[in-house]
Structure 1
Amino acid sequence: MGQIYDFIYNLLPYLGMWLYGFLRSLGLSEEAVFLVVGLIKAFLLANFGLIGFAILTYVERKIVARFQDRLGPNVAGPYGILQPVADGIKLLTKEDTMPAGADRWVYNLAPLIIATCALAPLVVIPFGPGAIGADLSIGVLYVLAVGSGALVGVLMAGWGSNNKYALLGAFRAVAQLISYEIPAVLSVVVVVMIAGTMSTVGIVQAQDVPYLFVLPVAALAFLLSGVAEVGRTPFDLLEAESEIVAGFHIEYSGMKFALVFLGEFVHALVVSALFAVLFLGGWRGPWLPPYLWMLIKMSVGIFLFFWLRATLPRIRIDQMLNLNWKFLTPLMILNLIGVALVDKGLRAAGVSGGMWAAGLFLFNMAMLIGALALPGYLGRRARMAALAAEAEAEAVEAAMAAH
């Protein structure tokens, strides 16, 4: 039984070694073998993103429909499972239009850049021991850098469309995405500081206790920032139809629109996978195979995205930016400094293991409670001041009326 579990646990490394030996037996050189293996990995990861995109479009419709007491897709195939296929056929056969006066190269390249920058971070996501495209020593930095490249595609789409609504939507999208990059990066820095490595595999291996229970403030900030960066409800101002006529991609149709749509869903998939790696222990877990644990943890993050969409209304852009600049970013700066000091103090005192994790957790909870209580206190004080000013004005008016 132990041998079977060991084989399942190391299935992908075994397949990799078999493939390497098979290619070498064909007489290929070392460089050629690495090239072929790299191409196979890229093909598998790209198809994982594409298949995940197709599945998520169906799953989201079903989940949101259940939240809203509807059936969701139920015509194309049993239980509507062929709906992604029907959508793909529809998008393939739709007319490919281009606005008059559009910048041809910029307009056409934008969807490709958005889709590529969404798929590229999958290279450093570990799905199990040895199941990773490339274990870079700066894996987290690579994800942040490549994922931010979608900003360029968004701006290109808005500018190249020669449409004022699209350009306005692109500017607003870039403002939103750049703003929420800051707390996301700060939360990742906290994890890297505690784990002592920027390798995604190293971060998973460092989590004897999942960092969700050690660094809950960083986990919450990363999740909120991820929702905003993906452009999901309640931060879906990138395509606020009632305000900017569907945003930066209003002029796209057919497969170009599908690439933009793919970028959004794959980005959500990557954020969920990165959340699982940084805060949920990645593939680590008892009894079940590691690949299954990773998929389960990714599914939890994705379900949260769908849950928020079905529950919360869209907020205003000033509320969204105020939440970032006046709450999340200052909180994460203080959290970074505080976690560094507490971690240093605990290690200097010789505290480790569960007591070290409990100490950091208590500090994070105290900071979170204080951060949530302070706006309430300031809000009450502002309301009392406004009521006092109103009462004083009424008293002055009454005195003047009496005279």
Structure 2
Amino acid sequence: MANFLYILNLICQVLLIIVPLLIAVAYFTLAERKVLSAVHQRQGPTLVGIFGLMQPFADGLKLFLKEIVIPSSANTIIFLLAPILTFMLSLVSFAVVPFEYGMVFADLNVGVLYLFAISSLGVYGIIMAGWASNSKYAFLGALRSAAQMVSYEVSLGLIIICVILCVGSLNLTEIVLAQENIWFVIPLFPLFIMFVISALAETNRPPFDLPEAEAELVAGYYVEYSAMSFALFFLGESANIVLMCCMVTIFFLGGWLPILNVPVLNWIPGSLWFGIKVSFLLFVFVWVRAAFPRYRYDQLMRLGWKVFLPFTLAWVFIVSAILIAFDWLPTLGLPV
């Protein structure tokens, strides 16, 4: 009986994370269409439900009822496993994300390493999709996407190393608590900007959507996918965007901590503050899509390897030197 209650409690905790996440992903797609339509001076989805609020569910139902078409020359097993792998990896990443103090599925002491391990595995789903489709367009898009994700993971890792040096812990909850006095976005503002840009490239978002360039690659690595297999890729990518916004919030914007450390704002739940910050960053992702043209592929790679890599590496040395200097000041009899 005790084991049954434990398993039931575990399932409820998983559902409390997955169900709101899927709803948030669904309405992120609607919000993106609404914001882009406002930028274009048109209405966007308005027919399904009040103000078009039921449009994501109509789209999901349509994809669920459509037939899954598998190319005759494709490797069927790997072709079907690729979207499932991408979708599952995007969900399990949220196991270590603290939405509020104590509101986390697994408060790991190596939470940052866990996130990097899961994000690195995401490349395999894309390569599997491009190769198993047996299409030159899908394979070229998969190679582009894999190279792009690997390139910008390097700069993301170096930026997070700077944050870890300031905190002294890989635990995401402790990283948030270390920002009680000042958010890291203030002393590490250049790293914040580079992290957001690298997150755009990591999630294949405009202006770095080279793997999905419609005019060149016909939707990239999932060009052969349809119905629910396409929907799983789409949900996985959107969930990764939400995850990146959560990471920016945790590492630089104080997580669930209020915007101003005043007693008047303490009545607002920390999870609501977390949601407000993530929603703002999601709006930034959509705004960048509406405002900036697509980069060329050589510009994308040059930015990652010749600009971000040396700059973030220099910041690691600068942050390390400053922290060591402040550790030495008391030994020299100087005030800190």
- Shorter-chain TM band: over 0.9
**Could you tell me whether the CA contact under 8 Å between 2:207 and 2:294 is conserved in 1?**
yes
Picking from 153, 172, 180, the partner of 1:181 is: 153
Picking from 135, 139, 144, the partner of 2:107 is: 135
Aligned to 1:381: none
Q: Within the alignment, does 1:300 sit opposite 2:280 as a pair? A: yes
Aligned to 1:337: 317
- Structure-2 separation of matches of 1:48 and 1:81: 16
Structure 1 residues 172-197: Cα deviation after superposition (integer angstroms, max 9, x where no partner): 11010100000001111111111111
**Could you tell me whether the CA contact under 8 Å between 1:217 and 1:335 is conserved in 2?**
no
**Could you tell me whether the CA contact under 8 Å between 2:111 and 2:170 is conserved in 1?**
yes
Q: Within the alignment, does 1:192 sit opposite 2:192 as a pair? A: no
Shift of residue 300, structure 1, vs aligned partner: 1.5
Structure 1 residues 300-325: Cα deviation after superposition (integer angstroms, max 9, x where no partner): 11111011001001110000000000
- Structure-2 separation of matches of 1:346 and 1:183: 26
- Structure-2 separation of matches of 1:272 and 1:74: 27
Aligned to 1:94: 66
Q: What secondary structure is seen at the aligned counterpart in 1 of 2:185?
A: helix
List runs of 5+ in structure 1 lacking aligned partners: 1-27, 357-403
Picking from 286, 289, 306, the partner of 1:326 is: 306
Shift of residue 54, structure 1, vs aligned partner: 0.8
- Structure-1 separation of matches of 2:32 and 2:235: 14
Picking from 199, 216, 231, the partner of 2:204 is: 231
Shift of residue 33, structure 1, vs aligned partner: 4.4
Shift of residue 342, structure 1, vs aligned partner: 1.2
Shift of residue 130, structure 1, vs aligned partner: 1.0
- Structure-1 separation of matches of 2:6 and 2:153: 34
The amino acid across from 1:122 in the alignment is: F
Aligned to 1:254: 227
Shift of residue 114, structure 1, vs aligned partner: 0.7
Name the stretch that deviates more: 213-222 or 328-337.
213-222
The amino acid across from 2:214 in the alignment is: E
Q: Within the alignment, does 1:282 sit opposite 2:259 as a pair? A: no
Say if 1:345 and 1:34 are closer, same or farther in 2 by CA, change over 3 A: farther
Larger Rg belongs to: 1
Structure 1 residues 193-226: Cα deviation after superposition (integer angstroms, max 9, x where no partner): 1111101111011112111012112212211111
Aligned to 1:220: 193
The amino acid across from 1:121 in the alignment is: S
Q: What secondary structure is seen at the aligned counterpart in 1 of 2:257?
A: coil
Structure 1 residues 70-102: Cα deviation after superposition (integer angstroms, max 9, x where no partner): 111111111111111110111012121000111
Normalised by the length of structure 1, the TM-score is: 0.78
**Could you tell me whether the CA contact under 8 Å between 2:165 and 2:319 is conserved in 1?**
no
**Could you tell me whether the CA contact under 8 Å between 1:176 and 1:229 is conserved in 2?**
yes
Picking from 85, 91, 108, the partner of 1:119 is: 91
The amino acid across from 2:271 in the alignment is: Y
Shift of residue 246, structure 1, vs aligned partner: 0.9
Shift of residue 253, structure 1, vs aligned partner: 0.2
Aligned to 1:263: 236
- Structure-1 separation of matches of 2:284 and 2:190: 17
Q: What secondary structure is seen at the aligned counterpart in 2 of 1:213?
A: coil
- Structure-1 separation of matches of 2:122 and 2:170: 22
- Structure-2 separation of matches of 1:132 and 1:170: 33
Q: Within the alignment, does 1:51 sit opposite 2:23 as a pair? A: yes
Structure 1 residues 277-313: Cα deviation after superposition (integer angstroms, max 9, x where no partner): 1111100114221111110111111111011001001
Picking from 347, 363, 374, the partner of 2:327 is: 347
The amino acid across from 2:213 in the alignment is: A
The amino acid across from 1:326 in the alignment is: K
- Structure-1 separation of matches of 2:149 and 2:225: 21
User: Which has a greater percent of helix?
Assistant: 1
- Structure-2 separation of matches of 1:124 and 1:306: 26
Q: What secondary structure is seen at the aligned counterpart in 2 of 1:212?
A: coil
Shift of residue 32, structure 1, vs aligned partner: 4.8
The amino acid across from 1:332 in the alignment is: T
The amino acid across from 1:155 in the alignment is: I
For this pair of structures, how many residues does the alignment match? 325
Shift of residue 36, structure 1, vs aligned partner: 2.9
Shift of residue 144, structure 1, vs aligned partner: 1.1
Picking from 189, 210, 222, the partner of 2:183 is: 210
List runs of 5+ in structure 2 lacking aligned partners: 259-264
Name the stretch that deviates more: 248-257 or 205-214.
205-214
- Counterparts of residues 27-176 of structure 1 (less than 5 Å): 28-29=1-2, 32-176=4-148
The amino acid across from 2:217 in the alignment is: I
**Could you tell me whether the CA contact under 8 Å between 2:123 and 2:149 is conserved in 1?**
yes
**Greater RCO, 1 or 2 (C-alpha within 8 Å, sep 6+):** 2
Q: What secondary structure is seen at the aligned counterpart in 2 of 1:71?
A: coil
Structure 1 residues 255-284: Cα deviation after superposition (integer angstroms, max 9, x where no partner): 000000001110000000111011111001
Q: What secondary structure is seen at the aligned counterpart in 2 of 1:42?
A: helix
The amino acid across from 1:100 in the alignment is: S
**Could you tell me whether the CA contact under 8 Å between 2:208 and 2:295 is conserved in 1?**
yes
**Could you tell me whether the CA contact under 8 Å between 1:127 and 1:282 is conserved in 2?**
yes
Aligned to 2:261: none
Structure 1 residues 354-401: Cα deviation after superposition (integer angstroms, max 9, x where no partner): x98xxxxxxxxxxxxxxxxxxxxxxxxxxxxxxxxxxxxxxxxxxxxx
- Structure-1 separation of matches of 2:6 and 2:167: 30
Shift of residue 346, structure 1, vs aligned partner: 2.6
